[in-house]
A and B are shown apart, each in its own frame.
Chain A
């Protein structure tokens, strides 16, 4: 906690010239960001400022660059141009402040580790190179498993988990990272209703602790219920702001273009908000 307080110095408003776009109290500031695969832009000229303590839904059609945006913020994908500031500094200086939940399909669930082993991986950053997982890290992992409601599965091999349990395991691992800013890539994809509820509970808990969560989300119908800040993305940022201001029919039309079925879905989602 002490290093967190150091980062959050009271001089947060006194901004150095290099960090003019990256105020120190802003969890994520993205400026002029462009990413390309084989010279074809995937995200184009993105500017974002995410305020502290928000639950942020990143919404957009398939191929809009949502995952790419997350991975670029985490330095997993090289930038063609632009800057990303995490609490006012480049990501690699702020690793200890950031937690990451990758897409569930990105790993091999037949890998020979137990659920507890997997969750304890979240503590590795704190441990650093060479030091081994001890009782303290195991206790932290166990505690995280209790929070997501699958403590009884701690000794299971991960190949024995259902999709929902896999997602909870990933979420528990992120909790042991004890971060201030979380990036989550489609945590709600193909999970059962009970898991969805459990994830929402965890998001709200993180929110109540003042943490910021940036979540790639697909289901337009639940955006307004789960998130208080929305980023509408389709290669460029269509809109970013408080859900009630930004999550509008006009903006959704701009984001999803002519895709009719999706517009219907959007209309449905909006009618729910109205109710």
Chain B
């Protein structure tokens, strides 16, 4: 295998994206709104398209604004549809995000005749090409995607640091949060905006598929390994970084074992994080499936009295 600075940049871009996603992702998972992340990362498409049509430039400020607005609108519309349409939240979410996604797709396909925006690129990204599109910063050539993802990562990190206690409280106990004056809805919309803005930064480089995976799977993995909030966030970020490394490594090595060319890094990253989740699920020390099995067998073999088993 021939590891070049190209490969390093691909992993760095992947890792930046993963960490930027896991930060709001942890709170989505804890609020039991995982699917909302999925919905928003699709529903921002019309926002992206309108922002793009207005400015003709990618990763522009109007594009981020458009995405953040559609992100919040997704949450608002979902609430309206479930309230006035008398359907459950899951169905309401399905109605809203598929409609918005379809509108976005139409806009992009219409625009594609005139401007350079590729629908398949939005979905799957072109991570392998990110090192080609660089900007010089302090004499070093850095991929544009790495810079925009770093900015979003910093933004997410500062918001979560600043509002850590508020996000913790409103995710755990919405009622108390509201009675104390920390509006749970406001914080929820803030999270939605973070997801939307992260999706925009990520869509071009890595595609929205990877955003969906990184929002949910690393936090869910971390929750298997710890029952403390800060360790959970740190572990989720680490799982994200590890997925980027494993994902790219397997993308360039595994297909060659079978005589094929290398495959998509985005896809492999998403698969790698699923693999890490499975490992954690089977082997985590406190509640791992296999560990539990092993312990139970051991306990029965040692014929521990029943009272001790239950304690």
Contact = CB atoms under 8 A, between A and B. Distances in A.
Interface stretch (A4-12, A49-57, A69-77, A241-249): A69-77
Contacts of B227: 110, 112, 157, 159
Nearest to A99: B179
A113 B229 CA distance: 6
Contacts of B171: 111
Interface in B137-154: none
**Which one of B30, B169, B173 has the greatest number of beta carbons of chain A within 10 Å?**
B173
B173 A102 contact: yes
Given A113-B228, A124-B169, A71 B164 contact: no
A133 B165 contact: yes
A111 B30 contact: yes
A130 to B, nearest CB: 6
B61 to A, nearest CB: 26
Given A95-B181, A132-B165, A159-B227, A111 B172 contact: yes
B296 interface: no
Contacts of A117: 168, 229
B172 A100 contact: no
A74 B229 contact: no
A226 B179 CA distance: 26
Given A100-B176, A124-B165, A114 B182 contact: no
B179 A100 contact: yes
A121 B30 contact: no
B162 interface: yes
B30 to A, nearest CB: 6
B175 A125 contact: no
B228 to A, nearest CB: 5
Interface in B147-201: 162-166, 168-169, 171-173, 175-176, 178-182
B223 interface: yes
Interface in B206-265: 223, 226-229, 232
B175 A76 contact: yes
Contacts of A113: 168, 172, 228-229
Given A112-B30, A112-B232, A130-B162, A75 B172 contact: no
Given A111-B171, A130-B163, A157-B228, 5 more contacts: A113-B172, A124-B165, A125-B180, A127-B165, A129-B182
Interface of A: 71, 74-76, 92, 95, 98, 100, 102, 106-108, 110-114, 117-118, 121, 124-125, 127, 129-130, 132-133, 157, 159, 173
19 contacts: A74-B178, A74-B179, A75-B179, A76-B175, A95-B180, A102-B175, A107-B172, A108-B32, A110-B227, A112-B30, A112-B223, A112-B232, A113-B228, A113-B229, A121-B169, A121-B172, A124-B169, A124-B182, A129-B166
